Amino acid sequence: MNATSYYLTTLLVYLGVDILAVWALNLQYGVSGVYNFAFIVFQAVGAYTAGVVTLGSPSQNGGFQHYILGWHLPYPLPVIAGGLVAGALSVPVGLVALRKLRTDYQAMVMLVLSVIATLVVENVTGLFNGPAGLSLIPQPLTNGVASSSLNYQWLYVGITAAICGVVYIFVHRVTSSPLGRALRATRDNEAAAEALGKDVFRLRLFIFVFGNAIAGVSGAVLVQFIGAWSPGSWLYVETLVVLTAIIVGGTGNNAGVMLGALLVPLAFNEATRYLPTIGRPGLIDALQWIVIGLLGLVFLWFWPRGIIPERRRRFARQAARTGDAPRAGEPQLADPVV
Amino acid sequence: MIVSASVLVPSIGFGLVTASILALAAVGFTLQFGVTNILNLAYGDVMAAAAFIGYVLNKHGASIAISLVVGAVFGAVASLLLNRCLYMPFLRRGTKLFGMVIVTLSVGIIIQNALLAIFGATFFTYKFSVGSQVHVAGMVFNGSQILIMGLAVAAMLLVQVVLTQTRLGKAMRATAANAGLAQASGIATDRVVDVAWLLSGALCGLAGVVLVLNTSAFQSTTGNDFLVIIVAAAMLGGVGRATGAMVAALVLGVVTEVAAGYISPSFKEVIAFGVLVVVLLIRPQGIFGQAAVERDLA
């Protein structure tokens, strides 16, 4: 029974992290049409930051790992720091990548950035400890509760849920406000949004930074739970998992992408880690990736708007007059595009 | 840092070999983009698949020449099928530019992991003799490197002749410039697109086999690892421009190898990326490209 609870709590924390991630990427990709294929890099940055501001001096434990800072910040400062650093790093990246590039160029540049970031991290051992990454990252708020106990597991589930709640307030404020409307306008028709006086580049830069800050927070939550960080677990394909979750759940819909987070990264990626190994080592991993790829293709083909599609938004007066179904020939807002 | 000829000249030699492989790959990549406007991120994985097909043949005693030919044919057929059976249907269904990026990336992940599932996570090597060494102006090449460079030069000449001297090439360039107008002018654009994917796929397969001929060992991710430099070369040359990709491949091949000689081989991709960022900042359309405007998909 204990083992089941342990397993369940671990999955719940992963789910919380995945939900934060899909909200963040959905703000960028789903709501604003910002094609951030480097998403995982910012999650990793947040995680790394949370690690190094809690690990203490690099010389402890015989100085077996190298990293910067080495502070001892009290909770929840490490999580906030993770978000701030990821957000700050997004500014120069966004300034370069979000310029007037075609959307697929943007995606490609971000993708390449993600690959390069992994390469750099693995090769600059002084900064990031190379491929080994960080370990022994202390878990927060362990006063009085043994960090390996089930009670602590549930405590961490609570912390994760609380952070999800706080982040949701921010996410909801953005998507339900005039700002969200402006972002959707830039996604659906960039030229029209610009003609109405919206500064498309600034809007995109804002959501890029904002989303990546949430990504940083989610990385921080994860790393403080598992206590380790290595560049190999933040490869560019992980961004594709988050994207697939968004597409499956419902692009542009906060509730939909939550469902996506439950279905894709959790059910496929995390739960299968506990399956017995069949065949040669790595076979399950390979099959899992094939399934993720197929899932994305199948949904883009059959249900490009996802399980819970984005609500079609209409002017209030028009919606009241026509009921739910729009009359033929009436001007409508464009369907969201993939 | 003192630039000594003892490092510089051999590095340029390596650079020429890398440039040859890169030219084959980048011209194929850029052709696919030019004619159909699809950035095929599965390209590196098709390269790897061709390399594995060649490997299986080689393991059963086939010569390198057979592996090269079969690799090229496989690349051509696989690319044609990918475009006909997957990419085009998605486009017709109204999938937009970024949706296509997700589609091609998903296809790449599927191919890469299928290779991993079939062959396992170990390294592979072709069995062949690299041939005797040849010294040219301080640079040392082995037989297989000479072969790679010869193949690349021949293929580039062929592509250049096809694109500029034949009716087919003219039709291809017309389709790339404006598919609708080309069709209205009586060009069978569907056939032209097929031929373009066959040709670029053949280059892709060939590039896959020569890429692994030139590395000591390869695995399922080898093709995808090379994609960063291919993308950099294609963008540097102006996406869709074959000549641009050739020149960019030469520049990037030599620059990355020389940098690898002086700094560290692990920074090759980082340097390619640096070049890419500078190009995007200064001249987003590439050195030879015209303005990269958002145009209709073919």
Q: Hey, of B95, B97, B119, B236, which one would you mutate to test binding to chain A, going by the most A CBs within 10 A of its CB?
A: B97
pLDDT category, A3, cuts 50, 70, 90?
Answer: confident
Find, in chain B, the residue whose alpha carbon is nearest to that of A241. Answer: B106
Residue B85 scores a pLDDT above 90: yes
The yes-or-no verdict on residue A321 having pLDDT over 90 is no
Tell me whether residues A116 and B228 touch, CB distance under 8 A.
yes
Q: Locate B280 and state its tokens.
A: 């995007």
**Digit-coded pLDDT (tens) for A89-129:** 999 999 888 876 677 777 878 888 888 888 888 877 777 77
Q: Which residues in chain A have their CB less than 8 angstroms from residue B264's CB?
A: 123
Sign of CA dihedral A116, A248, A182, A16: negative
Q: Which residues contact A236 (CB under 8 A, 6 or more apart)?
A: A37, A38, A40, A111, A114, A115, A118
Chain B CB contacts of A292 under 8 Å are 106, 109
Does residue B200 have a pLDDT over 90?
yes
pLDDT band at B298 (very low <50, low <70, confident <90, very high): very low
* Mean local confidence (pLDDT), A78-95: 93
The number of folded domains in chain B is: 1
CATH number of domain containing B122: 1.10.3470
Contact A102 B294 (CB under 8 A): yes
Report helix, strand or coil for B264: coil
Q: Given an 8 Å threshold on Cβ–Cβ distance, is B280 in contact with A286?
A: no
Query: In the predicted model, is pLDDT for residue B233 greater than 80?
Result: yes
Weakest mean pLDDT among A4-13, A96-105, B12-21, B100-109: A96-105
The C-alpha R_g of chain B, in whole angstroms, comes to 19
Q: Which of A103, A104, A188 to mutate to test the interface with B (most CBs of B within 10 A)?
A: A104
Which chain B residues have a beta carbon less than 8 Å from that of A96?
277, 280-281
Displacement of CA A262 from its chain's centroid (Å) = 13
How far B65 CA sits from the closest chain A CA (Å)?
A: 31
CB-count burial class (<10 Å; 0-12, 13-18, 19+) for A325:
exposed
Q: How many CB atoms are located within 10 Å of the residue B137 CB?
A: 7
Q: Which residue of chain B has the CA closest to A113? A: B273
pLDDT digits (tens, 9 = 90+) for B27-70: 999 999 888 888 899 999 999 999 999 999 999 988 889 999 99
Question: Average pLDDT of B136-151?
Answer: 84
Q: How far apart are CA A31 and CA A26, in angstroms?
A: 6
Weakest mean pLDDT among A76-90, A148-162, B76-90: A148-162
E strands present in B101-217:
134-136, 139-141
**If contacts are CB pairs under 8 Å, which of residues 72-111 in chain B contact chain A?**
86, 89-90, 93, 95-103, 105-107, 109-110
pLDDT reported for residue B292? 43
Q: How confident is the model at residue A326 (pLDDT cuts 50, 70, 90)?
A: very low
pLDDT > 70: percent of chain A: 85
Residue A320: predicted pLDDT: 59
B129 found inside a domain: yes
Q: What pLDDT does B128 receive? A: 80
pLDDT over threshold 50, residue A336: no
B136 Cα to chain A: minimum distance (Å)? 33
Cα A236 vs. chain centroid, distance in angstroms?
Answer: 12
| Residue whose C-alpha is closest to residue B269's, from B239, B237, B232, B238 | B232
**Domain membership of residue B216 as a residue range:** 5-282
The answer to whether B116 contacts chain A (CB < 8 Å) is yes
- To the nearest whole angstrom, how far is the Cα of B78 from the nearest Cα of chain A? 18
Please report the pLDDT score of residue B14 as a whole number: 86
Check residue A228 and give its pLDDT: 84
Residue B20: φ, ψ to 5° = -65, -45
Whether B78 has a pLDDT exceeding 90, the answer reads: yes
- Given a cut of 60, whether residue A220 has pLDDT beyond it is yes
**Helix/strand/coil for B106:** helix
As for the ipTM of the complex, it is 0.84
Model confidence band, residue A6 (pLDDT cutoffs 50, 70, 90): confident
Mean pLDDT of chain A: 84
Give domain A2-322's CATH number out of 3.30.1330, 1.10.3470, 1.20.120, 1.20.58: 1.10.3470
Given a cut of 50, whether residue A333 has pLDDT beyond it is no
Q: Is B281 on the interface with A (CB under 8 A)?
A: yes
**Residue range A13-70, pLDDT digits in tens:** 999 999 999 999 999 999 998 989 999 999 999 999 998 888 877 777 767 777 777 7
Query: Which of 230-249 (A) contact B at CB < 8 A?
Result: 237, 240, 243-244, 247
Share of chain A above pLDDT 90, in %: 40
Secondary structure E strands in chain B: 134-136, 139-141
| Contacting residues for B12 by C-beta, under 8 A, at least 6 apart | B139, B254, B257, B258
Exposed/middle/buried for B139, CB within 10 Å: 0-12, 13-18, 19+? middle
Of A119-133, B70-84, B150-164, B279-293, the one with minimum mean pLDDT is: B279-293
The pTM of this model reads: 0.87
Domain for residue B68, yes or no? yes
Chain B contact set for A112 (CB, 8 A): 228, 231-232, 273, 276
Q: pLDDT tens, B170-197?
A: 898 888 888 889 889 888 888 999 999 9
Tokens 């209205």 belong to which residue?
Answer: B184
Residue A40: its chain B contacts at CB < 8 A? none
Contacts of B97 in chain A (CB under 8 A): 102-104
Residue B177 near residue B46 (C-beta atoms within 8 A) = no
Instruction: Calculate mean pLDDT across residues B109-132.
Output: 87
Q: What is the least distance, in Å, from the CA of A332 to any CA of chain B?
A: 19
